[in-house]
Amino acid sequence: MEFTDRVLKCVECGEEFVFSAGEQLFFREKGFNHQPRHCKKCKRKIIKKGGRVETRVSCSECGAPTTVPFLPHLGLPVLCRSCFQRLREPPPRISDQSQIS
């Protein structure tokens, strides 16, 4: 299989970058199934942060601006810390049957 340079778009900054034929060959040899999603500049930023991506978004529940430690995708809702904690709390339980009247 012969590889040719491909132009991709960075999911972080939106800049275009080249996924060279040599990089594609390297990816195939290593068994990587997905093409790169970040340009070299953004990849360095992620590495400097300890591999953690931070993204500014609006909470799907209350609309407040928040920062999350991942790249939102697939149209799934993203919650701020307080909404996330509130939804994780179990509903209050009634411990004594005599309180039910």
Chain-centre distance for alpha carbon 75: 11
Alpha-carbon span 11 to 15, nearest angstrom: 8
Length of the chain measured in residues? 101
DSSP annotation of 70 reads S
pLDDT tens per residue across span 53-98: 778 888 999 999 988 887 787 778 888 889 988 888 877 777 655 5
Alpha-carbon span 20 to 39, nearest angstrom: 12
Element (H, E) at 81: helix 81-88
Element (H, E) at 27: helix 21-30
Percent of the chain past pLDDT 90, that is, above it, reads 22
Task: Indicate if the pLDDT at residue 4 is higher than 70.
Answer: yes
